[in-house]
Amino acid sequence: MDDATWQAEQFERQRPRLHAVAYRMLGSRSEAEDAVQEAWLRLSRSDDDAIGNLGGWLTTVVGRVCIDMLRARHARREDYAGTWLPEPVVSVDDSDGPEQQTLLADSVGLALLVVLETLTPSERLAFVLHDMFAVPFEEIASMLGRTPAAARQLASRARRRVRGSPTVPDADIATQRRVVAAFLAASRAGDFDALVAVLDPDVVFRVDTGSRTRPVPALLTGATDVARQVAVQGPRFARHCQPALVNGTAGIVARTSAGIIAVAGLTVIEECIATIDLILDPDKLNNLLLAD
């Protein structure tokens, strides 16, 4: 086996982990692919003999590429109208087969990705690599040009932000699906009282339309305001909806003859919906990874 073939095989073994890191860093599957591809290009131009730990080297490269991409995105975000939401991963199969189990294992909830988006790039890197992938702070510090103590502090700040937000859904998928089914039924009927009953009193409803004119407010909070909005818009919109797994948790996908028009990730906590993340951005829907 020549060096180029060996290098390519080793990289492909690392690819799933690298993509998982990049998706959690960027909240975008397409951008995550770009970050992983950049790591491959840099590896192909590097001296193999100078790389002692290939997995660690590639993780460092992907981490630094993601930080650069986040900084560039934050600069562009000043012109973004409305709420930015991640690119979702969706399955519409109701079975619990291997594909769905993989989706559950590999996905990270939209609500958590939204919170991660509020962190600085350095905080996000420290939290993602340490808390999700058990990378030592010494290695994270070298990526950031900080001391290990500073990297630990970055992760601690990020952890407090994450713990202060409703990001961890009920563990039982069957319970999540039952709550989402009740929400869909109430939406189709325009039943305000039934909607209030299934929503957390402090529910947060976020909408990402991309560059399109917003048909609903980009952000609503509180069960009364959210239920009022859904009761008005729901009967027309919900007839196109069906249950789905969205980033590993119960959610909704809306389809017409023209294709997918919306995806909603719902965070069910204590049998009530705590967050609704509605994605209408056509660019994100076009990039959708859909497992039937």
Do the Cβ atoms of 140 and 151 come closer than 8 Å?
yes
**What angle do helix axes 29-44 and 54-76 make, rounded to 10 degrees?**
130
Q: Which residue has the tokens 């934050």?
A: 74
Residue 254's DSSP bridge partners are: 241, 262
285 half-sphere exposure, CB direction, 13 A CA radius: 18
Dump strand ranges (E) for the chain: 89-91, 199-208, 219-221, 241-246, 249-256, 259-269, 272-279, 289-291
Q: Which residue has the tokens 């030592």?
A: 136
Q: Is 157 exposed, middle or buried (0-12, 13-18, 19+ CB in 10 A)?
A: middle
In this structure, what DSSP letter does residue 132 have? I
pLDDT on residue 105: 45
Integer Cα distance of 264 and 277 in angstroms: 5
Closest CA to 216 of 233, 193, 202: 233
Integer Cα distance of 187 and 229 in angstroms: 10
Architecture of domain 173-291: Roll (3.10)
pLDDT on residue 97: 55
The rounded average pLDDT for each run of 10 residues, N- to C-terminus, in the chain (292 residues) is 77 93 93 95 80 88 95 71 82 59 61 92 97 95 95 97 88 92 96 97 92 68 96 89 90 91 94 95 79 50
Give the SS3 label for residue 57: helix
pLDDT on residue 205: 95
pLDDT in tens, 232-272: 988 888 889 999 999 888 999 999 988 899 999 999 999 99
pLDDT on residue 209: 87
pLDDT on residue 292: 46
- Please state the CATH superfamily assignment of the domain spanning residues 3-80+112-163 in this structure: PhyR, sigma-like (SL) domain (1.20.140.160)
pLDDT on residue 133: 94
User: Model's pTM, two decimal places?
Assistant: 0.85
Residue ranges of domains in the chain: 3-80+112-163, 173-291
Closest CA to 251 of 224, 279, 230: 279
